[in-house]
Amino acid sequence: MNEPDFPIKLESGAPMVRFAKVRKSYGELTVLDDLDFDVQKNEIVSIIGPSGSGKTTVLRMLMTLEQIDHGVIYVDGEPLTHMGKNGKLVRANNRYVRSMRSKIGMVFQHFNLFPHMTALQNCMEAPVQVLGMSKQEASDRSEELLQMVGLEDKIHQHPARLSGGQQQRVAIARALAMRPEILLFDEVTSALDPEVIGEVLGVIRQLAAEHNLTMIMVTHQMGFAREISDRVCFFYDGKIEEQGSPTKLFDNPENERTRQFLSAVLDAG
Amino acid sequence: MQSYLEYLDQHGSRFLDGTLITIQQTIIAGLLAIAISLVVGLMKLSSHKVIRWPAIGYIEFFRGTSLLVQLYWIFFVLPLFGITFEKFTAGFIAVGLNLGAYGAELVRGSIQSVPRGQYEAALALNMSPYKRMKRIIFPQALLIMLPPWGNLLIELLKGTALVSLIAVADLMFEAKQINGSTFLSAESFGTALIIYYLMARLVISPAMRAFEKYWAKKMGRFANHA
């Protein structure tokens, strides 16, 4: 792919994440429509919107789980899946993409824990296998992380023996074990029973308070988005329809679609 | 009954020799089939046509044509092209290549049935394609493919009887020889039948079940009952 209109590198002071005219379609269906979207370092951004609006696709593209049809994503000023060649941006090789991907971690709706490993092994796996950390060090750090998410008594359990809320907390610890600079949360409470949603949100709240992580969340938890976000983006039809501080977006939405969406979800829940 | 014991006394050692050859054929062809299954099964999952297509061709050819014809090709036709195998070798190669094609589909199918989220989680943790397969996907796929592998290995054992047709002195070959000299067909082929059955039922099935159980336990599958 040739992207002559995009810089090979952003100038210093660039945002942590920049989507520049990113387009993604599946066949006829356009999921992201020339999306421009910036996230600053250590910013906490919530993405809300109706299903099919492209919210999750934003996260999946940033995690390199989906390919970009057109446009460029920059992370920390560098293109995520492109590299400069003879002054032009071309699709990057795997090695480059892996080096970029190491800055990003993701927590999934369905946890996706490795069922054949204990909670501790889930957290140790990538530090040992990818970062080459010693088992001792990885184990110590993973134990610390599992303690942080309140699961110190579950470290030797397999996922099958954990509740959904506990599994999701392990998944958060597992993502943190790779020390990402950007952490993506993809509807992380949507598959949970109502009574355990709180424990997962509690962990995210704690991470947010420490504020040394850029966080992008796709969520249906409006109250939570309002509480912890620096900025909320309302997605509609593959574009950001409206964005702003939580107070502005939730209390004084300017856009008619935002108003309709908010009144629908707030009535329902 | 008396006469059958006498029959066994007289021909038992030949049945034993044949059985040992059948066991050798089964083990070597089995290892070959497993190796081929892994390579061809993974090749079929490749996103590169150049890698995928030979795998598809291989599977189509060896599943779509008769094992006996393949055996004859390897033993009688390949020498015309300057490739000559000893009959024992031709035997396990034919059986291994044939069953490997079925095994390749088992490997492919079980890898594809591991939930996609596992692959995505491993990718998000920046694991290399090789580590994703080795550490995350394959261990789970193995759990899924082991029960059908048990069936396939029994098929393979029974398939080795065809090597008697190129005069490999296996169990079936000995049974035919004894039948030819004694004309005691019921005893000769009955004994062969029973020995094949016992090998399948008392060796392969329990061994595969034990391995399944071991692997399931290693995978934490029974963690709930631990």
* Chain A contact probe: residue of B125, B133, B136, B142 with most A CBs at under 10 A: B125
Residue B156 lies in a domain: yes
CB contact under 8 A, A98 and B126: yes
Q: Which domain holds residue B113?
A: 27-170
- Chain B residue numbers with beta carbons less than 8 Å from the beta carbon of A105 are 124-125
Nearest to A160 among B120, B126, B223 (CB): B223
A113, A157 in Cβ contact below 8 A?
no
Q: What percent of chain B has pLDDT over 70?
A: 96
pLDDT of residue B225: 38
Residue A191 to chain B, least CA–CA distance (Å):
14
**Phi, psi of A44, rounded to the nearest 5 degrees:** -110, 115
Question: At a CB cut-off of 8 Å and minimum separation 6, what does B2 contact?
Answer: none
Considering only CB atoms, which residues of chain A are within 8 Å of chain B? 63-65, 98, 101-102, 104-106, 108, 110, 112-118, 125-126, 129-130, 157-158, 160-161, 171, 174-175, 178
Summarize the confidence of residues A8-35 as an average pLDDT.
Answer: 91
Q: Please, where are the H alpha helices in chain A?
A: 55-62, 94-101, 119-129, 135-148, 164-176, 194-210, 222-228, 246-251, 256-268
Interface test mutation site (partner B, options A59, A114, A121, A145, max chain B beta carbons within 10 A): A114
Domain segments of chain A as ranges: 40-65+98-268
Chain B nearest-CA residue for A98: B126
Nearest alpha-carbon partner for B174 in B159, B156, B205, B195: B195
CA–CA distance, B125 with B24 (Å, rounded to integer): 44
Residue A41: which of A14, A7, A12 has the closest Cα?
A14
Residue B11 lies in a domain: no
Are the C-beta atoms of A258 and A249 separated by less than 8 Å?
yes
Structural contact between residues A147 and A156, judged by C-beta atoms closer than 8 angstroms: no
Answer whether residue B185 is part of any domain. Answer: no
Residue B127 falls within a domain, yes or no?
yes
Number of independent structural domains in chain B:
1
Contacts of B122 in chain A (CB under 8 A): 114
- Rg (alpha carbons) of chain A, rounded to whole number: 19
Instruction: For helices B138-159 and B2-44, give the axis angle rounded to 10 degrees.
Output: 140
**CATH number of the domain where residue B131 is located:** 1.10.3720.10
pLDDT of residue A116: 93
| Weakest mean pLDDT among A8-17, B70-79, B185-194 | A8-17
- Tell me whether residue B141 is in a domain: yes
B77 in a structural domain: yes
Q: What is the mean pLDDT of residues B46-56?
A: 95
| pLDDT given for residue B107 in this prediction | 97
B126 lies in some domain: yes
Nearest residue on chain A to B125, judged by CA atoms?
Answer: A126
Q: Would residue B102 count as lying in a domain?
A: yes
| pLDDT for the residue B221 | 66
Tokens 């595969």 correspond to: B208
Q: Taking residues A171-192, what's their average pLDDT?
A: 96
**Average pLDDT of chain B?**
94
Do A98 and B220 lie within an 8 Å CB cutoff? no
In this structure, the dihedral spanned by the alpha carbons of residues A72, A76, A81 and A84, taken in order and rounded to 10 degrees, is 80
Please write the tens of the pLDDT for every residue from B7-30.
998 999 999 999 999 999 999 999
Chain A residues with CB under 8 Å of B135 CB are 125, 129
CATH number for A40-65+98-268: choose from 3.30.1490.20, 3.40.50.300, 3.30.1330.200, 3.50.50.60. 3.40.50.300
Q: Which residue in chain A has the smallest CA separation from B122?
A: A126
What whole-number distance in Å separates Cα of residue B64 and Cα of residue B68? 12
Residues of A in contact with B127 (CB under 8 A): 125-126, 129-130
Question: Could you please report the per-residue DSSP string of A186-247?
Answer: ESTTTTS-HHHHHHHHHHHHHHHHH--SEEEEE-S-HHHHHHH-SEEEEEETTEEEEEE-HH
Q: Judge: B224–A117 Cβ closer than 8 Å, yes or no.
A: no
Dump pLDDT digits (tens) for B107-152: 999 999 999 999 999 999 999 999 999 999 999 999 999 999 999 9
pLDDT, tens digit, 9 for 90 and up, residues A89-103: 899 999 999 999 999
DSSP label of B134: I
* Contact state of A115 with B219 under an 8 Å Cβ cutoff: yes
Within 8 A by CB and 6+ apart from B88, the residues are: B21, B25, B163, B168
At residue A269, the pLDDT reads: 56
Q: Which amino acid is at A169?
A: R
pTM, 2 dp:
0.88
How many A/B residue pairs have CB atoms within 8 Å? 73
